[in-house]
Amino acid sequence: MSAEAADPGAPLRRRSRPRIDLRRLGRVALRGPVSRDRLPDAISHVAEAHRAHHPDADLTILRRAYVLAESSHRGQMRKSGEPYITHPLAVTLILAELGAETTTLTASLLHDTVEDTEVTLDQVKEQFGDEVCYLVDGVTKLEKVDYGAAAEPETFRKMLVATGNDVRVMSIKLADRLHNMRTLGVMRPEKQARIAKVTRDVLIPLAERLGVQALKTELEDLVFAILHPEEYEETRALIAAATGPDDPLETIADNVTHTLRDAGISAEVLIRPRHFVSVHRVRRKRGELRGTDFGRLLVLVGEDADCYAVLGELHTCFTPVISEFKDFIAAPKFNLYQSLHTAVVGPEGAVAEVLIRTHRMHKVAEAGVVALGNPYAQDPAAPPPTEPSDERADPTRPGWLSRLLDWQESATDPDTFWTTLRDDLAQDREITVFRTDGGTLGLPAGASCVDAAYAQYGDLAHTAIGARVNGRLATLSTVLSDGDTVQPLLAQDTASGPSPDWLDHARTPAARIAITGWFSDHPDEAKPDPETVEATGPGTQGETSVEREAPEASAPARSRSGPRPTGVVVDDPNAQVRLAGCCTPVPPDELTGFVVRGGAVTVHRRECPAVAAMQEIGRAPVAARWADGEGRESDGGCRVTLVAESFGRPRLLADLTEAIATADAAIVSATVEPPSEQRVRHTYTLRLPDAAGLPGLMRAMRDVAGVYDVSRAQHPAPTG
Question: Which residues are known to be catalytic?
Answer: 115-116
CA 400 – CA 206 distance, rounded (Å): 10
Q: Rounded to a whole number, what is the distance in angstroms from the first to the last CA of the chain?
A: 55
Residue 632 neighbours by CB under 8 Å, 6+ apart = 565, 567, 638, 690, 691
Interior/surface letters 178-196, b for 16+ CB within 10 angstroms, e for the rest: bbbbbbbbebeeeebeebb
Q: Pick from 465, 466, 574, 462: which is nearest to 519 by CA?
A: 462
Q: Which residues pair with 605 in a beta bridge?
A: 591
Q: Are 716 and 609 in contact (CB under 8 A)?
A: yes
Q: Which of 511, 506, 487 is nearest to 403 (CA)?
A: 511
CB 141 within 8 A of CB 154: no
Cα(671)–Cα(544) distance, rounded to whole angstroms? 6
Instruction: Tell me the β-bridge partners of 179.
Output: none
Residue among 671, 261, 193 at smallest CA distance from 466 = 671
**Cis upstream peptide for 588 (omega within 30°):** yes
Distance CA 148, CA 2 (A): 28
**Residue 133 main-chain phi, psi, to 5 deg:** -60, -45
Taking alpha carbons only, the member of 103, 113, 217, 115 closest to residue 167 is 103
Phi-psi region of 343 (alpha: psi -120 to 50; beta: other; left: phi over 0): beta
Q: Which of 628, 611, 448 is nearest to 545 (CA)?
A: 448
What phi-psi label fits residue 372: left (phi over 0), alpha (psi between -120 and 50 degrees) or beta?
A: alpha
**Cα angle at 657 between 655 and 659, to 5 degrees?**
70
Instruction: Round to whole Å and give the CA distance between 473 and 657.
Output: 13
Q: Do residues 164 and 402 lie in contact, with contact meaning Cβ atoms separated by under 8 Å?
A: yes
Q: How far apart are CA 720 and CA 718, in angstroms?
A: 7
**CB neighbour class for 279 (10 Å; exposed up to 12, middle 13-18, buried from 19):** buried
CA gap 716, 720 in Å, rounded? 13
- DSSP, res 424: H
Buried-state track 585-606, b at ≥16 Cβ within 10 A, e below 16: bbbebebbbbbbeeebbbbbbe
Nearest to 4 by CA among 175, 182, 174, 176: 182
Residues 6+ apart with CB under 8 A from 316: none
Q: Do the beta carbons of residue 403 and residue 455 sit within 8 Å?
A: yes
Peptide bond into 498 cis (omega under 30): no
Residues in the chain: 720
Q: Is 683 helix (H, G, I), strand (E, B) or coil?
A: strand
11 closest CA partner among 236, 322, 174, 282: 236
Question: Using CA atoms, how far apart are residues 521 and 510, in angstroms rounded to an integer?
Answer: 17
Nearest to 715 by CA among 612, 600, 626: 612
Question: Nearest Cα to 212, choosing from 176, 164, 158, 165?
Answer: 176
